[in-house]
Each structure stands twice: as C-alpha cells, then as structure tokens.
C-alpha cells in the first residue's frame, strides 16, 4: 500500500500516538492492587504546570488521526451542521474515555499522579487535533479565510482571557497555606529526627497568627530552666519547648546555646498555630539568634515546624552565611523548595541578629535587624517552577518584589499578541496571494 493513501498514514498517526500515550502514561507498568480503588490518590489539579501543555500535545495527533479516519470512511461523510457537531462529539468523547481509562490505570501505579486536570487537558488536545485536521482537509488558506474573522478573533481573545484569568486565580490559590500539616512539632536547632543540627545562640522566638477577629501573639523567652513556656498569650495553649537532647553547654543569661547534642522541641504537635495559619494564610515568626559557625550548611535548622528533613510547614535555617526560608504551600511542595528563599550575608559573623519572617499570601517579608526584603510568591513565582524538573528553585531576596509577576504578565500578554498577530498576518498573506 502506498503512503499516498490517506487512510494508511492517518492510521499510522493514530496508532503511533496511541502507543506513545500508553508508553508515557503507564510506564514502568508496575501495577499494584490491594483489593480496592485508591481514590485518595486522584487529585483535581495537575502535578506540575508543565503537565498541562504536554497532555494537550499528546492528544493532538490522536484527535487529528481519528478525525481523518472517520471522515475518510464512506459511511461517515457528514455534511449537515448537526452531523458535523455529532462527529466531533463522538471523536472527542471517545478520546476522553481513553484518557479516563489511562488516569484510572494510574491509580494503581505508585510512581504516577493521576488527576482530573490531565483528562481535561487531553480533551482540549483532542479537540485541537480535530480542528487541525478539518483545517488541513479544507485547505489552510480556505480555513484561514473562513475562520479568521474579526468576530472569531474577538471570541478567541475572550476565551484566552478567561483561561489566563483562571490560571492566575489557580496560581494565587497555590501559595496559600492550606496544606500545612498540623501534626508537626516546633523544633529549635535541629529537625525532629536530629539530622540538621544548627550551632548558635537563641535569645527568644516570637509568633503571631490569625485567631478569630484578631491576631494572637506571644513568645518563648529562654530564661531559667526548661521547659520554656509560651508567654504573653494566656488564652492560647501552645506546648512548651523542652530539651530533646542536652543541654551539654553551660547556659548563660543571654538565652540558650544550641549545638551538637543539644536542641529543643515541643513534645506535642504545634497544632494550634499550624491550624490557625492554614486557615488564615498569614503568620509572623521572629527570632533573635547568633550563629556559632558562618559555614554551617544543610541548611542547618534554626526554627522549624517540621517532621523530618523532607516534610515541613516552615523553616528558618542557615546555609553558609545566608538565611534560608522554606515555606510549605501547594506550589512549594512538602519541603517548601519551590521556591526556597535566601537572604545572603546574614550570618557572616557571630553577631546577634533580629530576624522576622512575615507572610500574608501571596507576599513574604523578611526583616534582618532594620533591613527589609520582600517577594510576591504569586502569580509569577508560583508559575515558573511549575515548568522545571528540579525539586529546588533557590531565589535570592532583594530587588523588585514583583519581578516574577511582571515576567508572568509579559508572557501572558506576549503570547496573546503572538497568536492574534500570527493569525491576522497569515490571513492577510492568503488574501494577497489570491489578489
């Protein structure tokens, strides 16, 4: 058979696209069945923003090839509008069913993350593939003349604006603190499992968080002997800090000394604070601390509400001379590394520094003594890491706090101009060729 026959190469496109989807979506084929459907693994949103365009593109050749096979079958030559609409619905419905089957299969693949967003993206890809085939079958020039009209361009621009607005709302929601784990303890000078030791001195630690119609606040003052009680907010019951290990170093009058074999933690979860913050999406943590070693890495944990080295709500740490902040959000992940925020030059010597980290979604402020830094975490800072494979995205605090937002706006507007301008230019070129 010759490749000039449309049915053959359309069939090859369809089968090749189907095989590619099966391979990319189901590898490594290590299915696990425990006797039930694990619906809790299904999420609404995509795992990363990168998945959305990829899932659209994966189903474009399927829509293109299947539309061609249907149109080239003698029993399915539709001419009336309702028949054409029915044809499109049958093709896209079939491919949506295929996508649903693939996502359901991913429920039993531990390495995969099934989501409703993937099915929607596949449906859009199938629809785009059908439209591309119809434009190709009609002739590109004729399709441009028929469909690239002022009314259609206006409608397309409105659809694009709605999609861009929906994405922006999603990005703002992705930097809320709704995924904070209320079972984590408060730890000072280490992780709860003892693997990220920090060495230095801590005088006091203060917390502020939303509570009903006002802000609760208070602090741990490290005077006297442990346990160190939370003071200045008697109506709030926060657990005391006790020595998890140590103290091995004699304690002075200027707080507690933290070092190898000595660190503090609450014996119970720091859940009153974490629960209120996860609902109110704002908090402030202030610590008066001095490092004992400007070369500490890990990052070494100064103050952390976390379970271990990979799961946290918030961490203030030291990475060489820099203050490092990790904040758990849906965009930032369980380890708060997208982005992880650095303020260089904070721990160049053993001076006592007054550090305040304040977050009111989406704005983060960091004050070191009297110097303030700020960064907006959405929409821009939540958008760009979604297209990176790395688990970490270090961002140095400083400069314009909305620089990533401006870059995001430039991409959104620039893409609209590029698409609209490209279609208008192509339409005019087709008209010039006719003349």
What are the pLDDT digits (tens) for 374-412? 999 999 999 998 877 778 899 999 999 999 999 999 999
Q: Are residues 123 and 251 in the same domain?
A: no
Same domain, yes or no, for 200 and 263?
Answer: yes
Q: Is residue 406 part of a domain?
A: no
Length of the chain: 435
In this prediction, residue 2 carries a pLDDT of 44
Among 123, 138, 153, the domain-final residue is 138
User: Do both 293 and 378 map to the same domain?
Assistant: yes
Q: 336 or 213: which carries more pLDDT confidence? A: 336
The answer to whether the CB of 318 falls within 8 A of the CB of 291 is yes
Q: Which domain holds residue 192?
A: 186-401
Q: Which of 88-92, 188-192, 204-208, 334-338 has the lowest mean pLDDT?
A: 88-92
Number of domains in the chain: 2
- 363-375 pLDDT tens trace: 999 999 989 999 9
Mean pLDDT of 269-298: 95
Question: Residue 249: its pLDDT value, please?
Answer: 65
pLDDT at residue 434 is higher than 70: no
Q: Give the end of a domain, one of 98, 117, 138.
A: 138
Angle at 339 between CA 334 and CA 342, to 5 degrees: 115
Residue 388 included in any domain: yes
Q: Is 143 part of any domain?
A: no
Q: At what angle do helices 140-147 and 116-138 cross, to 10 degrees?
A: 110
Asked whether residue 226 falls in the same domain as residue 286, the answer is yes
Same domain, 256 and 318: yes
* CA 379 to chain CA mean position, Å: 11
Same domain, 117 and 208: no
- The b-or-e profile of 303-334 (16+ CB within 10 A means b, else e) is bbbbbebebbbbbbbbbbbbbbbbbbbbbbbb
C-alpha closest to that of 109 among 19, 25, 20, 21: 25
| Structure tokens given for 272 | 């009153």
> Are residues 377 and 260 part of one domain?
yes
How far apart, in Å, are the Cα atoms of 98 and each of 114, 175, 359, 385?
14, 33, 43, 30
The 10 Å Cβ neighbour count of residue 294 is 13
**Domain identity same for 134 and 229:** no
Asked whether residue 87 is assigned to any structural domain, the reply reads yes
Domain-located, residue 419? no
In terms of domains, do 130 and 236 share one? no
Structure tokens belonging to residue 251: 């304690």
- Tell me whether residue 42 is in a domain: yes
Tell me which of 89-93, 215-219, 402-406 is least confident: 89-93
pLDDT number for residue 61? 94
Specify whether 10 is located in the same domain as 114. yes
For residue 435, what pLDDT band results from cuts at 50, 70 and 90?
Answer: very low
Domain annotation covers residue 102? yes
Torsion sign (Cα): 414, 417, 423, 426: negative
14 and 80 share one domain: yes
Do 113 and 227 sit in the same domain of this protein? no
Statement: residue 80 has pLDDT above 90? no
Q: Which letter, b or e, does each residue of 170-203 get, where b requires 16 or more Cβ atoms within 10 Å of its Cβ? A: bbbbbbbbeebbbebbbbbbbbbebebbbbbbbb
| Region of residue 261 (phi > 0: left; psi between -120 and 50: alpha; otherwise: beta) | left
For residue 389, being part of any structural domain is answered with yes
Across the chain, mean pLDDT equals 88
CA angle 28, 12, 104 (to 5 degrees): 35
At residue 226 the predicted structure's pLDDT band, cuts being 50, 70 and 90, is confident
Say which residues have a Cβ less than 8 Å from residue 73's Cβ, sequence separation at least 6: none
């Amino acid at each position: 058979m010759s490749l000039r026959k449309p049915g053959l190469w359309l069939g090859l496109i369809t089968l090749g696209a189907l095989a590619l989807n099966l391979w990319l979506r189901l590898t490594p084929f290590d299915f696990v069945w425990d006797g039930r459907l694990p619906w809790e693994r299904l999420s609404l949103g995509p795992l990363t923003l990168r998945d959305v365009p990829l899932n659209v593109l994966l189903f474009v050749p399927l829509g293109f090839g299947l539309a061609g096979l249907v149109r080239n079958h003698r029993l399915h030559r539709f001419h009336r509008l309702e028949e054409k609409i029915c044809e499109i619905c049958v093709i896209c419905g079939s491919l949506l069913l295929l996508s649903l089957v693939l996502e359901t299969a991913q429920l039993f693949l531990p390495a995969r993350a099934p989501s409703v967003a993937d099915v929607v993206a596949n449906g859009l890809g199938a629809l785009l593939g059908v439209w591309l085939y119809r434009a190709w079958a009609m002739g590109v020039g004729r399709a441009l003349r028929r469909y690239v009209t002022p009314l259609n361009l206006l409608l397309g621009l409105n659809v694009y604006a709605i999609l861009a607005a929906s994405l922006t709302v999603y990005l703002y929601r992705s930097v809320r603190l709704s995924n904070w784990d209320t079972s984590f303890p408060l730890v000072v000078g280490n992780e709860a499992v003892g693997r990220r030791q920090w060495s230095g001195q801590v005088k006091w630690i203060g917390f502020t968080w939303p509570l009903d119609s006002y802000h609760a606040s208070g602090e741990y003052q490290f005077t006297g002997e442990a346990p160190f009680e939370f003071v200045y907010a008697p109506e709030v019951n926060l657990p005391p800090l006790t020595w998890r290990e140590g103290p091995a170093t004699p304690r002075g009058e200027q707080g507690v000394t933290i070092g190898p074999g000595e660190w503090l933690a609450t014996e119970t979860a720091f859940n009153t604070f974490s629960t209120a913050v996860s609902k109110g999406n704002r908090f402030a943590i202030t610590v008066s601390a001095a490092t004992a070693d400007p070369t500490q890495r890990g990052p070494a944990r100064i103050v952390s509400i976390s379970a271990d080295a990979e799961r946290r709500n918030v961490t203030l740490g030291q990475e060489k001379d820099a203050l490092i902040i990790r904040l758990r959000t849906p965009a930032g992940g369980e380890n708060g590394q997208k982005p992880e925020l650095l303020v260089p030059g904070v721990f160049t010597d053993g001076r006592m520094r007054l550090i305040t980290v304040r977050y009111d979604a989406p704005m983060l402020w960091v004050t070191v003594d009297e110097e303030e830094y700020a960064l907006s975490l959405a929409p821009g800072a939540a958008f760009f890491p979604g297209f990176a494979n790395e688990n970490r995205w270090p961002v140095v605090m400083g400069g314009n706090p909305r620089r990533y937002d401006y870059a995001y706006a430039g991409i959104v507007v620039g893409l609209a101009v590029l698409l609209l301008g490209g279609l208008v230019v192509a339409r005019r070129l087709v008209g010039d060729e006719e003349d």
